[in-house]
Structure 1
Amino acid sequence: MVSVFKLKNPIKHYDWGSPEWIPKLLGLPNDGEEPWAELWMGVHPEGPSELALPTGFVSPAPRLLPELIGLDPAHYLGEGVAGEFGELPFLYKLLAAARPLSIQAHPNLSQAKAGWDRENSLGISLKAPNRNYKDLNHKPEIICAITPFTAMAGFREPGEIIKRLQAVQKVPLALGTSLQVAPLISALEAPVPEAALQGFLAALFALPAETRQALGEYARSRGNDPTGEYAEEWKYAAWFAELYPGDPALIAPLYLNLINLKPGEAMNIPAGILHAYIQGFGIELMANSDNVLRAGLTPKHVDLKELTGILRFAPFKPEIIQSPGAENSPGLFRYPSPCREYSLYRMSGRGGETPFPLNGPAIVIVLEGELIIPAEKLRLRQGESAFIAFGSRPVFSGNYTISIADTGGSRSV
């Protein structure tokens, strides 16, 4: 019985995408008309993977990965995953950000269910621009860099934010006005960090338009000084001011941690953590959800009240997970993650034969070289991917580096 299925995956074209990274990995020409932002692998209804079925597959022949799994969930997913989730529980992506994504956070399970029920009771269409909850699921995620990757994630300590704001509190501007950030500093001086950060966010979004514009002017004036205090923060704030003039979140680098991932490094983003991917090419793995609440750097809907209800108002800086280089450590490496829905791995082979070392179900994508699966008469070249059914353990050969999404580290061997 066939246990490995080559996939054809949908491409998402968003304005923040790159014209280069995804086409280059796939070996495809870029038509130049739209940026290539994401490649989706999985069963999400907004972008399910198609199947390249082998000759002689038993009828009825499914066209999509969710249709294949639906034929026999216990077989393709395993009884444990099928019983607990009912479907492949993760969404696996390539993400190519030439420009920053919106600042955002995701709900936990109870928040997602409550929000879904509430918006349904209000009759808000799933396609409505003010719809926050697209499903009942949470959306923890992990991002792993393919190229150098810059992001913002988690609130800084209130004292750190105050230091960055004090530097601009009394700066005079050409029009004779000043940067009125005193309300932000006052909020951050609350004795309890959670109250300080919540008050700060409310004060930030309450800033009058002239103060927002003044902050943008000041950011642009500081952005070209690589030697000044907090130069990296102001470099990105200046860029944000050009992209989203008047957006209060243009000073996000002052209150969120700037994270620079080297290729192969990763970080986990739990529910309730403000974050934004700024620039770079990476692998993103998450629970199968599209629930997003935005907090700036976007023309899309920002629901501050709902956002406040799901945010974790506490200082948080993600741990950077470092992996050994494929050339130095052939074999399997797991990126630790606290989620039952998924685990992310990197695996390399340099000749010889190796049984697939995980139980699955899993999706693999080739990052370098060529993966050969002799029993399935399948060759996967760079950028190609496949779904591996539960418990099938195909034998791999070839020279390759692959990324693997598997369902939960506790189910691997």
Structure 2
Amino acid sequence: MDLLQPIIKPYAWGSREALARLQGRVSPSPGPEAELWMGAHPAGPSVLVRDGRTRTLTDVVSEAPERELGAECVARFGSRLPFLLKVLAAEQPLSIQVHPDRRQAEAACKSQAGEGAPDGPCADDWPKPELLCALSPFEVLAGFRTREEAAAVLDGLGLADLAPVTALLTAGTDDSALTRALRTLLEWPADRQGAFVAAVVDACVVKADEPGAYADAYGAVVRMAEHHPGDLGLVASLLMRHQVVDMGQALYMPAGGLHAYVRGFGVEVMAASDNVLRAGLTSKAVNVPELLRIVDPTVRVPVVKPRTVDGNPRTEVFGCPAEEFALFRTAVTAEAVPLLPPVGPRVALCAAGEALLRGSGGEVLGLRAGASCFLPDSDRGITVEGAGILFVAGTGFQAHL
């Protein structure tokens, strides 16, 4: 069991208080802190001390992959930790984005290699599904609305410029009409974009203060416009389902699902990939053509309620089909219970209170709120006790064990 030194990502959309409070540091922090990374991702591997030596988790895994990950994990994913555990603290909206599936990512990377273009749309040949568990009410844009609802949201603004987009939605007979509507908005003529976005935002200001089914969605556009003025993503967001994920529930982001985080605090686990295609609400590079090729309008981005694990009523798992990861949550008490999952590589995070982990050989590791550790496959039979909340990320294909 290795205590981790996680990496803090200081993206501009982050909070100056949430991560500092979680880790018991002085709040507010000197600058925005957006993500806390716990894993072996090459863009921010965690650090640990083993046998008196300070190492990155990436180095530890690469030197003995079967000991650290287990033979089954290596056979499936190779010598890399297949997931990354994060804590997200979003005070400003993140980009509208989509992720490719494994087949799409592999094909794109193969094509890029053949064309000698390493800086193509895919950063690697992995998919990037994600699961976000809310530690506070988390506002999101997740998947497309139905065609009928999207048309009603746009119609509600009473703008003539939106009439052709509404016509696309109402004339369509399947969900491909949603992609055509998204294309129309994201490819709005450059010389008219500023006036168009301003008119939509102004209309949303009025509608956000009126009673109605979509007032919250209009209000979200107004708030996002403070951070991304003139961005076509503000208009495109009206095609997406606006919702607030309750504390303790999770949102699963499958491949092809259009989504954006708006604001909130939560634990996220994702496949260890950098494949992100963005369409707006960002200062980073956007790739509208590739996003439109990858996006799947039938993906609905479901809210996931945890289910209790058989034989361990204090541990819940957030079920999702990703083979790269699974997320468990245990309400830790003074009575020791087996830590789940029991096998494979695992990263544990104490989200509140404290947790005491005991290995089968008698070793003990204590975690306070905000602290995390890596548990190799070779260390099995671990129990946990204390008083707090413990999240554990493991591999999805081993989650049933």
Deviations 1:154-202 (A, max 9, x none): 11111111111122234xxxxxxxx411221122133332331121012
Structure 1 match to 2:179: 198
Which of 134, 142, 145 pairs up with 2:131? 142
Say whether residues 1:234 and 2:227 are aligned partners. no
Report the Cα distance in structure 2 between the residues aligned to 1:330 and 1:229, rounded to whole angstroms.
38
Structure 2 match to 1:153: 142
Report the Cα distance in structure 2 between the residues aligned to 1:153 and 1:318, rounded to whole angstroms.
6
Name the stretch that deviates more: 329-338 or 15-24. 329-338
**Aligned partner of 1:377: which letter?**
V
Name the stretch that deviates more: 22-31 or 277-286. 22-31
Question: Any idea what SS the aligned residue of 2:171 has?
Answer: coil
The answer (yes or no) to whether the contact 2:20–2:29 under 8 Å persists in 1 is no
Deviations 1:217-249 (A, max 9, x none): 2223333x1524521011001112222222222
The answer (yes or no) to whether the contact 1:352–1:397 under 8 Å persists in 2 is yes
**Aligned partner of 2:200: which letter?**
L
Structure 2 match to 1:380: 367
Structure 2 match to 1:81: 73
Figure out how many residues of one structure are paired with residues of the other and give that number: 388
Deviations 1:330-385 (A, max 9, x none): 62111001011111010122112223242131110001111113422321111100
Name the stretch that deviates more: 179-188 or 28-37. 28-37
Deviations 1:59-90 (A, max 9, x none): xx460112112222111111000121121100
Say whether residues 1:118 and 2:135 are aligned partners. no
Which of 87, 92, 102 pairs up with 1:99? 92
**Aligned partner of 1:43: which letter?**
A
- TM-score normalised by structure 2 residue count: 0.91
**Aligned partner of 1:187: which letter?**
L
Report the Cα distance in structure 2 between the residues aligned to 1:51 and 1:322, rounded to whole angstroms.
33
How big is the alpha-carbon RMSD for the aligned residues of Structure 1 and Structure 2? 2.1
**Aligned partner of 1:77: which letter?**
L
Question: Any idea what SS the aligned residue of 1:8 has?
Answer: coil
Q: Which runs of 5+ in 1 are unaligned?
A: 171-178
**Aligned partner of 2:172: which letter?**
P
The answer (yes or no) to whether the contact 1:7–1:50 under 8 Å persists in 2 is yes
**Aligned partner of 1:138: which letter?**
P
Q: Which runs of 5+ in 2 are unaligned?
A: none
The answer (yes or no) to whether the contact 1:222–1:238 under 8 Å persists in 2 is no
**Aligned partner of 1:203: which letter?**
T
The answer (yes or no) to whether the contact 1:62–1:68 under 8 Å persists in 2 is no
The answer (yes or no) to whether the contact 2:144–2:241 under 8 Å persists in 1 is yes
Which of 63, 69, 80 pairs up with 2:55? 63
Report the Cα distance in structure 2 between the residues aligned to 1:211 and 1:373, rounded to whole angstroms.
57
Say whether residues 1:212 and 2:197 are aligned partners. yes
Structure 2 match to 1:175: none
Report the Cα distance in structure 2 between the residues aligned to 1:268 and 1:229, rounded to whole angstroms.
25
**Displacement after TM superposition at 1:29 (Å):** 1.8
Which of 36, 42, 58 pairs up with 1:39? 36
Report the Cα distance in structure 2 between the residues aligned to 1:156 and 1:400, rounded to whole angstroms.
38
Structure 1 match to 2:286: 302
**Aligned partner of 1:408: which letter?**
G
Report the Cα distance in structure 1 between the residues aligned to 2:297 and 2:214, rounded to whole angstroms.
23
| Cα 1:262/1:411, change in 2 over 3 Å | closer
> What pairs with 1:5-404 in structure 2 (closer than 5 Å)?
5-30=2-27, 32-53=29-50, 57=51, 61=53, 63-86=55-78, 87-124=80-117, 126=119, 131-170=120-159, 179-207=160-188, 208-209=192-193, 210-223=195-208, 225=209, 227-314=211-298, 316-323=299-306, 331-357=314-340, 358-374=342-358, 375-391=362-378, 392-404=380-392
Report the Cα distance in structure 2 between the residues aligned to 1:107 and 1:202, rounded to whole angstroms.
18
Name the stretch that deviates more: 62-71 or 93-102. 62-71
Report the Cα distance in structure 2 between the residues aligned to 1:184 and 1:93, rounded to whole angstroms.
38
Report the Cα distance in structure 2 between the residues aligned to 1:186 and 1:148, rounded to whole angstroms.
35
Question: Any idea what SS the aligned residue of 2:94 has?
Answer: coil
Structure 2 match to 1:176: none
**Displacement after TM superposition at 1:114 (Å):** 2.2
| Cα 1:411/1:75, change in 2 over 3 Å | farther
